[in-house]
Amino acid sequence: MLAFTLRRMGQTLVVLLVMSFIIYGLIGLMPGDPIDIMAASMPGVTPEVVAKLRAIYGLDQPLMLRYWRWLMAALQGDLGFSRTHSQPVLEVLTPALWQTCKLMISSFVLSVIAALILGVVSALRPGGFVDSFVSLFAFAGISVPVFWLALVLILTFAVALHWLPASGMTNVGDGGVMDQVRHLTLPVLTLMLANTGQFTRYVRAAMIETLRMDFVRTAWAKGAGAWRVVIVHALRNALIPVVTIMALSFGTLFSGALVTETMFAQQGMGKMIYDSILSNDFNLALSGLLFATLITLLSNLAADLAYGWLDPRIALK
């Protein structure tokens, strides 16, 4: 188990390193050039000065060398300076990361709970009325464009009913816990609805499979109550693949979080990446993308380790 853990952690580091190089290269291919942008804000700047600036910032060096310098600085905690925020990248990144974690974790937990209930109930009678209804709901969740779902929720709960705020993170002059919760409700609901569909399908499939197994029949035969059979015997075993696949999808929540944050004007990682790419803030975009990749990689790592831990047969392979 220890060897397995170490090997998977090593693999994660390698993938992160490769990705950092690819993202670094891609950012260099984006329109505009940091020095040109700088020069544009300085009236009367001569081409010689521009060339000198380029040399000072090392932008006349080959890609590999620039990447190496950036990597060495990043490893020491220096991710550069954000042009649009006029702050070190790390100081912009930290609150955004915290905001995104609140959104992602709360909608993830709620989706998992909803999916467990819906999945188990529909697996009890596959093809029945409840199952058909849940399946329709699950398919709808998989098929809905997240930004449109957000729009519909805004139209319903903010514009028509005035129950909840449509955007922002706090009201001016308030900012208490309840105010924050009210502003987070619609974003969390959006992301939760969009994810529950896929999760429900996982739970349902795993439960149907498990309910057919011999040990479940044994449990029925020895006279265990329905609740005990379904929850204690079947669900516990069905959870092994389900936990893994849900942990794997935690990273994919990030794509949804980007859309949700943009729609509801939440200053999280997703909106930060989106804004930084729109405004040519290269350092911020680079670090934001790397952190997004890191979130995905870490959730995959957690999924693999959880699988090995929950099902000892796996780790032996």
Partner 1 sequence: MTDLATEGALASPARAIEAAQSVWSLRWRRFRHHRAGIASLAILALLVLFCLSAYPLERYLNLDSNATDLLSRYDPPSATHWLGTDEGGRDELLRLMYGGQISLLVGLLATVIGGGIGVSLGLVAGYFGGRLDSFLMRLTDGVIALPLLPLLIVLAALDLTKLGFSSEFAHSGAAGFWRIVVIIALVDWTAIARLVRAATLSVKERDYILAARASGAGALYVMATHVLPNIVTPIIVALTLTVGRVILFESVLSFLGFGIVPPTPSWGNMLNNAQELVTTAPALAIYPGLLIFITVIAVNFLGDGMQHAFDPRSERR
Contact residues toward partner 1 (CB under 8 A) are: 15, 18-19, 23, 26-32, 126, 139-140, 142-148, 151-152, 154-155, 159, 166, 205, 208, 251-252, 254-255, 258-259, 262-263, 270, 273-274, 277-278, 285, 288-289, 292-293, 295-297, 300
CB 59 within 8 A of CB 283: no
Beta pairing partners, 88:
81
CB 268 within 8 A of CB 100: yes
How many Cβ atoms from other residues are within 10 Å of residue 52's Cβ?
Answer: 12
Least distance from C-beta 317 to partner 1, angstroms?
15
The single-letter code of the amino acid at 124 is L
Residue number, 217 or 228, with CB nearest to partner 1: 217
Q: How far apart are CA 263 and CA 280, in angstroms?
A: 21
Least distance from C-beta 262 to partner 1, angstroms?
7
Residue number, 49 or 136, with CB nearest to partner 1: 136
Least distance from C-beta 166 to partner 1, angstroms?
8
Q: How far apart are CA 80 and CA 158, in angstroms?
A: 39
Least distance from C-beta 239 to partner 1, angstroms?
19
Nearest to 153 by CA among 143, 163, 139: 163
CB 270 within 8 A of CB 229: no
Q: C-alpha distances in angstroms, 71 versus 18, 30, 263? A: 12, 19, 33
Least distance from C-beta 148 to partner 1, angstroms?
3
The single-letter code of the amino acid at 106 is S
Least distance from C-beta 24 to partner 1, angstroms?
11
